[in-house]
Amino acid sequence: MAQTRIMFIENKDGENNLIGKARIGRVTFSETKQSIHYKGQTFERMRGFKANYRDVETGDPYWISGCKENGEKVFVEKGIP
């Protein structure tokens, strides 16, 4: 069975590439853990300063990381209502 985890997913394909649309959701890892699947999207690892994954289909950069224990802090920092 594939491994899943709740993670923070932020699209970095915005105007300034610093703050983009973000959400928290349950992702599924590939067997090699080189790609992540979330709601029909597939993300593959990449090297970057502001992004660590890219959408395989569109090429859009994303920052995907584990959630902090205090989820409230993530929302406040990222400006998510």
**pLDDT bucket at 71, cuts 50 / 70 / 90:** low
> Does pTM surpass 0.85?
no
The whole-angstrom separation of Cα 20 and Cα 39 is 18
Report pLDDT digits (tens) over 7-65. 999 998 866 666 778 899 999 999 988 899 999 999 999 987 788 999 999 999 999 99
The pLDDT of residue 81 is above 90: no
Residue 70 is predicted with a pLDDT of: 65
Q: Locate all alpha helices (DSSP H) within the chain, ordered by sequence.
A: 71-78
Q: Which of residues 81 and 71 earns the better pLDDT score?
A: 71
CB 67 within 8 A of CB 77: no
CB 20 within 8 A of CB 10: yes
Residue 39 is predicted with a pLDDT of: 95
